[in-house]
């Protein structure tokens, strides 16, 4: 059985990454060459929808959902990982995988492993806009037969993000808002296997942006480094749309982030109960910019 991936190649694990002193350096200009940054805007690496930038980073995620199965509802726990390596400042290579445990019927093992390439296409700093293109391949037969699909899929994808820091002074308190999205087909290799079209969105309100670029309202830690958000990952295949609405938050500093979200199914085919996603993410391009986080080619 092919499990429902919580991030189509972006993973997680719960961890405590806390450093209140890092708040002052969160969005400093020295970050301008790392992560998904356009002008004053940092687009965080969200849990279910990929950000519009490239970086040298590692992501770990834990997810839990109850979804319809052949024998009724089944619970699925997933442990995902992804490592992204910068080839150049604009091009990144990724590898990812998911270990799943499910019941009804009981099965466990790795889903198919994936590899991907992503290229940072365009950045407009004054208007806080960023776009990338990429392709991810899920390699059929590389996972457990009890969990993974036997066929491969190729997913060319377009990514974009827009911050609203260019709004006029009369709308200053809307400037911390940002939206991101990605869209593209998941093309099955081989006859008789279903294709899908994935289209995902996020809406974010950055409290660090509010504090540093709109008005310092004196938020204490850890709230001052928090980004509340809602993600909506959707997929359409064989005439059926599935997906979730994921409210949650991300706590971020210069070196990494921690996130947690609920997963609310949009219909019965998407799940029977509210699930959860938990993320820990490390920015190697800031933790070790001259060694492991350095692009292979400058």
Predicted pLDDT of residue 21: 35
Query: Residue 283 gets which letter from DSSP?
Result: E
State which CATH number among 2.40.50.140, 3.30.428.10, 2.40.160.40, 2.10.109.10 fits the domain covering 20-287: 2.40.160.40
Predicted pLDDT of residue 22: 38
Q: What are phi and psi of 40, to 5 degrees?
A: -85, -5
Helices marked H in the chain: 207-209, 284-287
Residue 31, Cα to own-chain centre: how many angstroms? 19
Query: Residue 111 gets which letter from DSSP?
Result: P
Predicted pLDDT of residue 4: 45
pLDDT tens string, the chain, 298 residues long: the values are 444 444 554 433 333 333 433 343 333 333 344 579 999 999 999 999 999 999 999 999 999 999 887 777 889 999 999 999 999 999 999 999 999 999 878 899 999 999 999 999 999 999 999 999 999 999 999 999 999 999 999 999 999 999 999 999 999 999 999 999 999 999 999 888 999 999 999 999 999 999 999 999 999 999 999 999 999 999 999 999 999 999 999 999 999 999 999 999 999 999 989 999 999 999 999 999 999 999 999 8
pLDDT tens string 172-194: 999 999 999 999 999 999 888 99
Predicted pLDDT of residue 18: 34
Predicted pLDDT of residue 5: 45
Predicted pLDDT of residue 170: 97
Nearest-angstrom CA–CA distance, 81 and 97? 6
Predicted pLDDT of residue 240: 96
Beta strands in 125-274 (DSSP E): 129-138, 153-163, 177-188, 196-205, 226-237, 240-252, 256-265
Predicted pLDDT of residue 72: 73
Q: Where are the domains of the chain?
A: 20-287
Give the position of tokens 């092919």.
2
Nearest-5° Cα angle at 95, 243 to 146: 60
């Amino acid at each position: 059985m092919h499990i429902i991936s919580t991030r189509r190649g972006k993973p997680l694990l719960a961890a405590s990454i806390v450093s209140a002193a890092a708040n002052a350096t969160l969005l400093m200009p020295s970050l301008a060459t790392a992560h998904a940054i356009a002008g004053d805007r940092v687009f965080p690496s969200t849990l279910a929808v990929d950000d519009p930038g490239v970086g040298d980073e590692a992501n770990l995620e834990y997810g839990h959902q109850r979804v319809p199965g052949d024998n009724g509802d089944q619970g699925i726990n997933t442990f995902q990982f992804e490592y992204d390596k910068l080839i150049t400042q604009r091009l990144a290579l990724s590898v990812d995988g998911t270990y799943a445990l499910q019941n009804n019927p009981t099965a466990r093992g790795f889903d198919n492993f994936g590899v991907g390439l992503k290229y940072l296409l365009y950045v407009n700093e004054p208007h806080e806009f960023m776009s990338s293109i990429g392709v991810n391949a899920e390699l059929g037969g590389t996972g457990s037969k009890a969990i993974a699909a036997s066929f491969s899929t190729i997913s060319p994808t377009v990514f974009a993000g827009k911050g609203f820091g260019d709004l006029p002074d009369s709308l200053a308190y809307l400037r911390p808002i940002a939206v991101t999205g990605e869209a593209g087909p998941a093309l099955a290799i081989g006859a008789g296997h279903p294709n899908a079209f994935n289209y995902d969105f996020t809406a974010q309100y950055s409290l660090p942006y509010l504090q540093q670029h709109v008005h310092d309202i004196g938020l204490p830690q850890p709230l001052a480094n928090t980004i509340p958000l809602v993600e909506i990952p959707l997929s359409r295949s064989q005439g059926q749309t599935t997906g979730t609405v994921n409210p949650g938050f991300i706590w971020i500093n210069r070196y990494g982030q921690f996130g947690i979200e609920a997963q609310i199914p949009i219909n019965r085919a998407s799940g029977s109960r509210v699930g959860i996603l938990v993320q820990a993410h490390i920015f190697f391009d800031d933790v070790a910019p001259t060694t492991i986080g350095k692009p292979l080619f400058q």
